[in-house]
């Protein structure tokens, strides 16, 4: 078995065990056993459980590659760009809703896990806040607390990802992603265009 294949098997096994048991209860021995490798092999590849969690669960959701892939496609048109960001984020993460539930369950119990989990949302928020600030400096949008607005934007998308299967949520929101994205984007567009068009 090649090193890359071994690493991938460990990541997939870890993802399954962390989903089932959570970070604290998950055992590195069980993960190694499920991957069909020696326990020491796990440590040779990842060093510790924290690193394994980071690569299997935290990196399982949107990473820096997502941001890099978007940056060259943004046009400066706030409505088009927010639509692009929202659709790309949902497309990448809709089938990962169980990982989001791990995030919330584990971060409430363990500050170490919470710190790991917040890395990607923090990077996404910084990316969008910097984008807003750039458009504001170009006088294309009005001012505002761009950190808060960025968090709210991704917060709405995460809410859709996590709760879309619940019956009560489906009564309030259609199952059409385009409708949700359009309303979400319109909400932020209305806030950010206010001073520009007056």
Q: Which CATH architecture has domain 62-197?
A: Orthogonal Bundle (1.10)
Q: In terms of C-beta density within 10 A (0-12 exposed, 13-18 middle, 19 or more buried), how is residue 192 classed?
A: buried
76 three-state secondary structure: coil
Of 32 and 160, the one with more pLDDT: 32
Top-confidence range, 47-51, 65-69, 151-155, 170-174: 151-155
Query: Would the pLDDT of 196 be above 60?
Result: no
Distance CA 175, CA 45 (A): 41
Q: Which residues contact 73 (CB under 8 A, 6 or more apart)?
A: 84
Task: Look at residue 94 in the predicted model and tell me its pLDDT.
Answer: 79
Listed in order, strand segments (DSSP E) in 42-193 are none
Distance CA 67, CA 117 (A): 17
Q: Delimit the domains of the chain by residue range.
A: 3-56, 62-197
Q: What is the CATH number of domain 3-56?
A: 1.10.10.60
Task: Look at residue 62 in the predicted model and tell me its pLDDT.
Answer: 54
Q: Which residues contact 151 (CB under 8 A, 6 or more apart)?
A: 121, 125
Task: Look at residue 111 in the predicted model and tell me its pLDDT.
Answer: 72
Query: Would the pLDDT of 59 be above 90?
Result: no
Task: Look at residue 24 in the predicted model and tell me its pLDDT.
Answer: 80
């Amino acid at each position: 078995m090649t090193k890359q294949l071994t690493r991938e098997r460990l990541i997939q096994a870890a993802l399954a065990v962390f989903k089932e048991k959570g970070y604290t209860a998950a055992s590195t021995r069980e993960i190694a056993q499920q991957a069909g490798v020696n326990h020491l092999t796990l440590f040779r590849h990842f060093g510790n459980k924290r690193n394994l969690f980071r690569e299997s669960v935290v990196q399982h959701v949107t990473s820096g590659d997502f941001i890099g892939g978007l940056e060259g496609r943004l046009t400066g048109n706030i409505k088009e760009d927010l639509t692009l960001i929202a659709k790309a984020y949902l497309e990448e993460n809709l089938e990962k809703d169980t990982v989001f539930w791990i995030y919330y369950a584990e971060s409430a119990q363990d500050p170490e896990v919470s710190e790991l989990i917040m890395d990607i949302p923090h990077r996404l928020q910084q990316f969008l806040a910097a984008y807003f600030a750039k458009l504001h400096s170009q006088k294309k949008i009005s001012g505002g607390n761009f950190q808060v607005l960025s968090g709210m934007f991704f917060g709405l998308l995460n809410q859709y990802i996590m709760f879309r299967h619940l019956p009560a949520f489906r009564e309030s929101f259609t199952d059409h992603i385009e409708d949700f994205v359009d309303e979400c984007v319109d909400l932020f567009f209305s806030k950010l265009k206010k001073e520009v068009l007056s």
